[in-house]
């Protein structure tokens, strides 16, 4: 800890020029940072309000404003975003807004305070408020004092700081959240490490890290998407550590990142309420969590409980993480016991999303769930009220989902809004009359394969349909040897015809219907569609390399 300073002292006086603290498009040493703190200090000191909301895209500007506000005796509120809805919600709770807000009420002073000497901060009375989703889903204010951050950065340095001397700290995560605040601002300030602007694209991140020894502060979302074609090997030996937090890092992604970057990721467990709890490094297939120095833990009623100086009080904090000891001083997590989920490392309350959807006047009932897979996705099942019809074609469903997404936009950004929607007459229930996760999930299993159009003309179209075994239409047809049901083939022909032809809404009759050969999972069938508008007739034929499968004619009319 040769360059170590307490967080209470980092802005009191400038460090020597060799202690390079803030890096950007133009190199700025700690003396520049100190001057920026003084300018913000003058701005905040000239205002009477005691509580200010800060939001900055740039970490260097944020760090200077944060310390300027603290040294002026202000309590800082740190929301996760600067959306209009967030600012509206905070107006009654803060005295003003500084930074990159749509309507900021404070700017940095043009001149600093000259020879003004700042006194060390009081670690107990210097405060910051962060917001996180509670069990009800409403944003919950978490108050922190500087003493908690002091204890945490010292624990991080003790457990993880070896070998990080002289590095620049790069990141893909925002300092507006507690993980980014600690790892990209407070810990580097205390340890005398360079703070580098956030990188949004892998190419920019790689280019920035090639100039010097580095640390990467990332999230699972970014580590899972590292483009393998980039020359990450140029970082081997100079990238000293890779940190990940905000959600579970899958084993496959962890090992792939280690191979690309040349260093095994170190994952951090914690929350806004608890601060850091534990860490693990992916040198093995599924490492156990190791508590940070000063953190006590136990398992009570199957759930993890922790006690540490990172908490607001000296008491056991009961989490919603199910856990078990690993027998070697650490523990393993077994999943969540509540309805808070992580999407792209963002904590989202399914309860809150459901309430927000239900606040739309056209909605009668709604359920939100997280769909798994290579990329977790939020999905919503919606029952419209008695005055709104269930949409029966793709364009109507798309328009309604866009309407509801816009309805959520004031409180949820694009990441935390549902991406998939289902509109139903009633929520699915089991034999006991209960809405189940399995029943909701089944609504999002595809009934029809992705359509690969070969030809789309005014009266003629051709499309290829790969029959994957996961299609819901194969359920029960039949367990011993699945086949594509004839009713599904008829339904697909009508659905796809409506996408390319002006087919009337009303069905009259079927004619010349033939099923000649079964279609099975793994087949790729081609559907030929011919539309005869003068007769209102749709002619369809299914074929594959095996020969003809089915054909027929469906007749429609403009009115019943």
Summary count for the chain: helices (H), strands (E):
13, 27
pLDDT digits (tens, 9 = 90+) for 153-190: 999 999 999 999 989 999 999 999 899 999 999 999 99
Task: Compare 344 and 362 and report the one with higher pLDDT.
Answer: 362
pLDDT digits (tens, 9 = 90+) for 232-258: 999 999 999 999 998 778 888 899 999
pLDDT class of 137 with cuts at 50, 70, 90: very low
Residue with tokens 């179209």: 461
Task: Compare 296 and 377 and report the one with higher pLDDT.
Answer: 296
Q: So what's the pLDDT on residue 134?
A: 44
Residue 396 structure tokens: 């109507």
> What is the reported pTM?
0.65
Q: Is the pLDDT of residue 143 over 80?
A: yes
Q: Is the pLDDT of residue 560 over 60?
A: no
pLDDT digits (tens, 9 = 90+) for 13-53: 877 654 556 655 555 678 888 889 999 999 999 999 999 99
DSSP 129-145: EEEEE-TTSSEEEEEEE
Mean pLDDT of the chain: 87
* Domains of the chain, first to last: 7-121 (3.40.50.980), 146-299+309-314 (3.40.50.12780), 341-442 (3.30.300.30), 452-557 (3.10.129.10)
Q: Count the Cβ atoms, other than its own, within 10 Å of residue 204.
A: 14
pLDDT digits (tens, 9 = 90+) for 362-417: 998 899 998 875 567 899 999 888 766 777 677 788 889 999 999 999 888 888 89
CB within 8 Å of 465: residues ≥ 6 apart = 448, 449, 451, 452, 492, 524, 525, 526, 527
pLDDT digits (tens, 9 = 90+) for 492-538: 999 999 989 999 988 999 999 999 999 998 899 999 999 999 999 99
Residue 309 structure tokens: 């100086």
Angstrom distance (rounded) from CA 97 to CA 103? 8
Q: So what's the pLDDT on residue 81?
A: 84
Please state which of the ranges 40-54, 338-352, 429-443, 448-462 shows the lowest mean pLDDT: 429-443
Angle at CA of residue 508, ends 539 and 455, nearest 5°: 25
Angstrom distance (rounded) from CA 183 to CA 309? 18
Cα distances (angstroms) measured from residue 103 to each of 66, 85, 88, 208: 19, 12, 10, 32
């Amino acid at each position: 800890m040769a360059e170590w300073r307490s967080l209470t002292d980092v802005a009191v006086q400038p460090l020597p020029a060799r202690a390079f603290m803030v890096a950007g498009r133009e190199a700025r040493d700690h003396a520049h940072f100190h001057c920026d703190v003084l300018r913000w200090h003058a701005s905040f000191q000239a205002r009477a309000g005691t509580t200010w909301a800060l939001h900055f895209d740039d970490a260097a500007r944020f760090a200077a404003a944060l310390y300027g506000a603290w040294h002026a005796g202000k309590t800082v509120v740190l929301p996760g975003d600067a959306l209009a809805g967030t600012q509206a919600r905070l107006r009654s709770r803060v005295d003003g807004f500084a930074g990159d807000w749509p309507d900021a009420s404070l700017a940095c002073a043009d001149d600093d305070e000259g020879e003004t000497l700042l006194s060390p901060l009081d670690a107990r009375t210097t405060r910051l408020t962060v917001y996180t989703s509670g069990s009800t889903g409403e944003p919950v204010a978490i108050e922190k004092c500087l003493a908690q951050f002091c204890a945490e950065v010292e624990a991080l340095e003790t457990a993880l700081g070896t070998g990080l001397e002289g590095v620049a700290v790069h990141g893909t995560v925002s300092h507006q959240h507690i993980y980014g605040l600690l790892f990209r601002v407070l810990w580097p300030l205390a340890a005398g490490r360079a703070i580098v602007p956030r990188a949004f694209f892998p190419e920019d991140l790689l280019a920035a890290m090639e100039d010097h020894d580095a640390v990467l502060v990332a999230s699972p979302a970014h580590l899972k998407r590292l483009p393998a074609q980039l020359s990450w090997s140029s970082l081997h030996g100079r990238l000293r550590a890779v940190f990940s937090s905000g959600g579970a890092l899958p084993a496959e992604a962890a090992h792939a990142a280690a191979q690309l970057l040349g260093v095994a990721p170190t994952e951090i467990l914690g929350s806004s309420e608890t601060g850091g709890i534990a860490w693990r490094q992916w040198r093995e297939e599924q490492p156990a969590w190791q508590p940070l120095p000063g953190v006590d833990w136990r398992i009570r009623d199957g759930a993890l409980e922790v006690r540490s100086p990172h908490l607001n009080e000296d008491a056991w904090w009961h989490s919603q993480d199910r856990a078990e000891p690993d027998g070697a001083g650490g523990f393993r997590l077994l999943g969540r016991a509540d309805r808070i989920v992580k999407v792209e490392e963002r904590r989202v309350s399914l309860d809150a999303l459901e309430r927000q959807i239900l606040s739309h006047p056209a909605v009668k009932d709604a359920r939100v769930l997280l769909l798994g897979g290579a990329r977790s996705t939020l999905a919503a099942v919606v029952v419209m009220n008695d005055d709104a019809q269930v949409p029966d074609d793709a364009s109507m469903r798309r328009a309604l989902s866009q309407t509801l997404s816009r309805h959520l936009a004031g409180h949820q950004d694009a990441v935390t809004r549902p991406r998939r929607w289902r509109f139903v007459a009633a929520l699915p229930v089991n034999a006991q009359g209960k809405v189940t996760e399995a029943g909701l999930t089944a609504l999002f299993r595809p009934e029809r394969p992705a359509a690969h159009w070969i030809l789309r003309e005014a009266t003629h179209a051709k499309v290829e349909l790969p029959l994957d075994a996961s299609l819901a239409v194969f359920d029960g047809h039949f367990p011993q040897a699945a086949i594509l049901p004839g009713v599904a083939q008829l339904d697909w022909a009508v659905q796809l015809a409506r996408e390319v032809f002006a087919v009337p809404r009303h069905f009259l009759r079927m004619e010349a219907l033939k099923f000649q050969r079964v279609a099975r999972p793994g087949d790729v069938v081609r559907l030929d569609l011919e539309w005869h508008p003068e007769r209102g007739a749709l002619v369809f034929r299914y074929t594959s390399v095996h020969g003809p499968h089915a054909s027929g004619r469906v007749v429609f009319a403009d009115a019943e």
